[in-house]
A and B are shown apart, each in its own frame.
Chain A
Amino acid sequence: MLIDLISLAWTALAGHRVRTALSVLGVAVGIAAVVALTALGEGARQYVIQEFTSIGSNLLSVLPGKTETTGTMPGMGGVPNDLTLQDLLALRRNIHAAQYIVPVSMGTETISHGERRRQVAVIGSSPEFLQARELRIAQGQFLPPGDVERGTAVVVLGHMTARELFPGQQPVGQVVRVGEWRMRVIGVLAEIGTQLGVKMDEVVIVPVATGMKMFNRSSLFRILVKVRSPKDLDGACDQVIAILTERHDEEDVTCITQKAVISTFSSILQTLTLVLVAIGAISLTVAGIGVMNVMLVTVSERTEEIGLLRALGATRGQILWVFLIEALMLAGLGGFVGLLVGLGGVHLLTWLYPAVPADPPAWAMVGALGLAMILGGLFGVVPARRAANLDPIMALQRR
């Protein structure tokens, strides 16, 4: 019976190709928009989460300055007290839940070897930076262990930096100039990609004391604390703030956990995704009205046929289904085409611009088809009811 009604609806839809194609197109555009927009929103969210979790969710950052008091970005001026290597050592002595406590100073410098030169981000840190940021060494060694306050003239190159400065050569053991400084290359990082927006393949890493001297800074950029398990994060944060408040005589540092950052970003981007879905839903509503319009025209055109079917013994309920199924088929077909177009569009986009994070979530794909069907049902029921409630005799007499 259902199959018969579907094939009956199919002959009707096939009899009006242009009209059918246009209303299918309307639904398809709406569904494609929902699929593509959720893919972009969800892709952005996944991207951010992946970025943060790639460096471990057990990490917390200590920044000089209090966001609330300065009103500017932490570490960008208005800093009451420096975050010093002495602070770092004090934290290392007192926080036992921490696996690694790592200083970070940052700046940009020109690195050159012979004729080749390049502007790079320079990170000053300690040997534990490798483990804390989950990096790997490809050649040579990382920063040597020793007193953090003593800066030696050694440098570890990012994968890309090494390849560009030493094409086809062995970089380890060579001497490069970083700004005014002559430094010996002791290692090269394995290829890793982008971490937290920093292209780790294009950085160079020097001992933290060297870095601070190089940039003439008295304060660290931040201190990274890696704890053993995520449940230690909040306690460690409190401890850090307590210790540094005591040392500085005021609370002038900010402690950010990765977890907090992730959840903030995640909820912001989830909201963004929902906004995008809502925009898609508007075009779907328009498409639904299109389906309803076409179905009303169809019912009005086929009034005589409805009367005939009633005379032949079709019940009101059966007539309702004849037209509801037709609407559902229009919408379902549109949903299917829209899903294909949406996914195709997303794939094309990521193929053209690999940097654009786009990942159509499974719920959106199932949801899009479901949404199309609900749409067909909602906007199809009014025309179908109109058809079902036609008086058979009046319907038959209409020519």
Chain B
Amino acid sequence: MIELQHISKVYEVGGQPIYALRDTSENIQSGEYVAIVGPSGSGKSTLLNIIGCLLRPSEGAYLFNGEDVSQFDDQALSHIRQHQIGFIFQSFHLVPRLTALGNVALPMVFAGISSSERQFRAKEALESVGLSDRAHHRPNQLSVGQRQRVVIARAIIMQPSLLLADEPTGNLDTHSGQQIMELLESLNANGLTMLVVTHDPNVARQANRVIVLADGQIAKRVKGEELSAGSMPLF
């Protein structure tokens, strides 16, 4: 599903090229649950943004479902994000003035889906994350755990094939973090490919595979269960 071939991302800082990602290759199969771990500045976010079609690599090819999207223009990339990729953010990024229902329906607005269908599908999605009774609450009237569930409902509303989560439990307490991870795992169990960037070893352990990044390169690939509880792989 995802094929990264010798991907690099270079930024110019003060005339000096800085590699955020260097010659990275990786394949992710459909239905996999992959965790990306690594210290700050190791290139986790850059990798996630490239896979999420928010960022074009400086070098290399990125095949998404067999198509090289690294050369796609803004409109084509937007189309892929809209229909193929769901995003889950650490800080939620909910629109404060919209209700939970409105936030969940937001991606459908830009896809040109009719208002009645939006209502129906958004309600369904909220129900699937267990928030039917909070549909008309605004984000600031919801607990952080509930907010993240709204974000998940929004991420799956367009029925994407890939779910990208950036520190999905980073702002949550242990209990609601666990609930969120159970929700995500159940989505993965239904066939949704999932990529999670995390600092939390307990989250990473649940993944099929763990990719360890260091200094913009993949330093290690391990199986989730190989991680010992409470500790992150060595760098």
Chain A interface (Cβ within 8 Å of chain B)? 1, 3-5, 8, 11-12, 14-15, 304-305, 307-318, 392-393, 396, 399
Contact A311/B91 with A316-B74, A318-B110 known, Cβ cut-off 8 Å: no
Do A313 and B111 have beta carbons less than 8 Å apart? yes
Is B98's CB under 8 angstroms from A315's CB? no
Residue on A nearest B92 in the bound complex, by CB: A308
Give A393 to B164 CA distance when docked, in angstroms. Answer: 14
The docked-state distance in angstroms from the alpha carbon of A307 to that of B89 is 12
Which of the residues A4, A15, A314 comes within 8 Å of B78, measured between beta carbons? A314
Contacts of A399 on B, CB cut-off 8 Å? 91
Which of A1, A11, A310, A317 touches B112 (beta carbons < 8 Å)?
A1
Asked if A305 and B95 make an inter-chain contact with CB atoms under 8 angstroms apart, the answer reads: yes
Beta-carbon contact of B93 and A313 below 8 Å: no
* Chain A interface, >50% SS class: helix
Give the bracket for the number of chain B residues in contact with chain A. Answer: 20 to 34
Which of the residues A11, A311, A393, A396 comes within 8 Å of B98, measured between beta carbons?
A11
Residues of B within 8 A of A (CB): 49, 52, 54-55, 74-75, 78-79, 81-83, 87, 89, 91, 93, 95, 97-98, 102, 106-107, 109-112, 115, 154, 158
- CB-CB under 8 A from A4, the residues of chain B are 109, 115
Are A393 and B54 in touch, CB under 8 angstroms?
A: yes
Q: Which residues of A contact B49 (CB under 8 A)?
A: 393
What residues on B are CB-neighbors of A304 within 8 Å? 93
Q: Least Cβ distance of B220 to chain A in Å?
A: 26
| A312/B82 contact (C-beta < 8 A), A8-B109, A393-B49 known | yes
B78 contact set on A, CB distance < 8 A = 310, 313-316
For the complex, give the distance between the alpha carbons of A16 and B111 in Å.
27
**Complex CA–CA separation, A399 to B91 (angstroms):** 9
B106 and A311 within 8 A (CB): no
Q: Is the CB of B54 within 8 A of A314?
A: no
Q: How far is the CA of A307 from the CA of B78 in the complex (A)?
A: 12
Distance between Cα atoms of A393 and B55 in the complex (Å): 8
B87 touches A311 (CB 8 A): yes
A308 and B95 in contact (CB under 8 A), knowing A315-B75, A315-B78, A393-B49? yes
Say which residue of B52, B93, B97, B112 sits within 8 Å of A12 (CB atoms).
B97
Q: Which of B102, B106, B115 has the most CB of A within 10 A?
A: B106
CA distance A210 to B79 in the complex (A): 95
For the complex, what is the distance from the CA of A393 to the CA of B52, rounded to whole Å? 11
A305-B95, A393-B49 are known contacts. Are A311 and B54 too (CB-CB below 8 A)?
Answer: yes
Max count, chain B CB within 10 A of own CB: residue among A8, A307, A312: A312
For B82, the chain A residues whose CB sits under 8 A away are 312-314
Residues of B with C-beta under 8 A to A305: 93, 95
Task: Identify the closest chain A residue to B93 (Cβ).
Answer: A308
Known: A4-B115, A393-B54. A314 touches B74 (CB 8 A): no
Q: Return B83 CB to nearest CB of chain A, in Å.
A: 7
| Distance between Cα atoms of A4 and B118 in the complex (Å) | 11
Chain A: CB-nearest residue to B107: A312
Supply 20 A–B pairs (Cβ within 8 Å), ascending by A. Answer: A1-B109, A1-B112, A8-B109, A11-B97, A310-B54, A310-B78, A311-B93, A312-B81, A312-B106, A312-B154, A313-B82, A313-B83, A313-B110, A314-B78, A316-B78, A318-B110, A392-B54, A393-B49, A396-B93, A399-B91
- How far does the alpha carbon of A14 sit from the alpha carbon of B138 in the complex, in Å? 15
CA distance A1 to B110 in the complex (A): 7
Q: How far is the CA of A117 from the CA of B229 in the complex (A)?
A: 116
